[in-house]
Each structure stands twice: as C-alpha cells, then as structure tokens.
C-alpha cells in the first residue's frame, strides 16, 4: 500500500482551479502520448508529477466547493462543477496509466508507432542551456509558430509549471515542452540546447 500524501488546504477561487486543471489535462495527454511514442522515461515521469498535481487540485477544489455550499440549491449547482473536476481527474489518471507503461518498459506496438509518427504535429522537450539564444526572451516575442512551425506550450522552472506561457521570460535550466512539425521542433530544440545560435 502506497503512502498517503498530505495536501495543505488553501482558499483558491474555484474558477482558477478549474482553469489550471483544464490546462494540465491538455498538457498531460500530449506528454503521455509522446512518452509512449518515443519511449521516453523522462516525459513519463513528468506525466506522473502532473497527475499528482491534478490530484492535489481536486482535493483543494472539493474543499472549496464544500465550504461554498450554504443550502441544497448551492449544493446542487456546485455538484456540476465537482463532476467536471472528476472527469478531468479521470483524464489525468488515464494519462498516468499510459506513462506507467513506459516506466515499466512496455513499448508501443510498431504499427501503432508508425501511425502516430505520420501525424503532422509532434511534441518534444528540452532543458534550456545557459548559452541558448532563447534565454532572456519571452515566449511571445519569439514568434516561434510563425518562424519555425513549432511553439512552446509549457515551461517548467524547478517544480513549477507555466502552462501556455506567453509573457514568461525563458531562463537557463528551464524545461520547455514544444509542439509543432518535426523540422520545427528540431530547429527549436537545437537553439534551446545551445547547439545553434539562431532560429532557422
């Protein structure tokens, strides 16, 4: 039996919690799919960490919903919000199940891998090198989608995720998660690693 983690309750607006859960659920699906496609353990581990974050958010959300209900009408209205949270949690659990297969060494069937690789969009990640031309720039000012056909969809700094980053300034040792064409991703990740000086 696994150990039970303690989650500290804090009062957070329900809307803010739901938005974060939605953003994480979108990212976690992409990461889980890519971890299986590339048999990438580090992406699978990120999925597991994000799944824990969703679990924490569900706990905080449920506490805030219970504290918000003043009567049966409130409880009825808030039950719909709780249902959305439950379904979002189910998505993150399914993504974690897929990532767990990668961590256990189960590989994607070659036929499935071939089908997935034919998709136009791919996803990959990289740590940002200190020498990278991305350092000191915001995601918005880089105009990556237009320039290279790939864009940064998430940025992780220490243990904190920035989902759909825009104004965030890219720093050394940030982990970026990018989505785009295969060629666009290759160009972006070369610059992120400091292997190329400019985006082509």
pLDDT category of residue 117 using cuts at 50, 70 and 90: low
Check which CATH number belongs to the domain holding 69 and give it: 1.20.58.220
Looking at 103, 136, 168, which one is the last position of a domain?
103
pLDDT at residue 5, as a whole number: 65
Looking at 70, 103, 136, which one is the last position of a domain?
103
Note down the domain range covering 170.
120-192
Round the average pLDDT of the chain to a whole number and report it: 87
One domain for residues 126 and 181: yes
Residue 112 falls inside a structural domain: no
Looking at 33, 68, 103, which one is the last position of a domain?
103
DSSP secondary structure string, 86-99? HHHHHHHHHHHHHH
Residue 113 falls inside a structural domain: no
One domain for residues 93 and 153: no
Check which CATH number belongs to the domain holding 142 and give it: 3.30.70.1450
One domain for residues 96 and 171: no
One domain for residues 72 and 25: yes
Residue 9 falls inside a structural domain: no
Percent of the chain with pLDDT over 70: 92
Residue 198 falls inside a structural domain: no
pLDDT in tens, 133-144: 999 999 999 999
If one compares 97 and 4, the residue with the highest pLDDT of the two is 97
Tokens coding 53: 């974050």
For tokens 């320039």, what's the residue?
Answer: 147
Range from 5-14, 51-60, 88-97, 139-148 carrying the lowest mean pLDDT: 5-14
pLDDT at residue 178, as a whole number: 92
Are the CB atoms for 133 and 197 separated by under 8 Å?
yes
One domain for residues 99 and 18: yes
pLDDT at residue 3, as a whole number: 52
pLDDT at residue 118, as a whole number: 64
pLDDT in tens, 177-186: 999 888 899 9
Give the Cα-Cα-Cα angle 94, 98, 100 (nearest 5 degrees). Answer: 110
The domain total for the chain is 2
């Amino acid at each position: 039996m696994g150990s039970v983690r303690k989650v500290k309750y804090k009062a957070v607006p329900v809307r803010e919690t739901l938005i974060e859960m939605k953003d994480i659920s979108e990212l976690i699906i992409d990461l889980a799919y890519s971890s299986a496609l590339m048999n990438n353990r580090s992406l699978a581990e990120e999925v597991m960490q994000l799944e824990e974050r969703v679990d924490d958010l569900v706990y905080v959300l449920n506490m805030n919903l219970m504290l918000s209900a003043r009567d049966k009408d409130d409880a009825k209205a808030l039950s719909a919000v709780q249902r959305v949270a439950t379904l979002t949690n189910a998505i993150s659990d399914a993504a974690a199940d897929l990532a767990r297969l990668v961590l256990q060494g189960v590989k994607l069937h070659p036929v499935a891998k071939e089908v997935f690789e034919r998709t136009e969009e791919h996803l990959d990640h990289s740590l940002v090198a200190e020498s990278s031309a991305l350092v000191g720039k915001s995601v918005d000012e880089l105009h990556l989608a237009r320039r290279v056909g790939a864009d940064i969809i998430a940025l992780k700094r220490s243990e904190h995720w920035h989902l759909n980053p825009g104004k965030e300034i890219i720093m050394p040792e940030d982990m970026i998660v990018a989505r785009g064409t295969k060629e666009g991703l290759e160009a972006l990740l070369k610059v992120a690693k400091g292997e190329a000086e400019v985006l082509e």
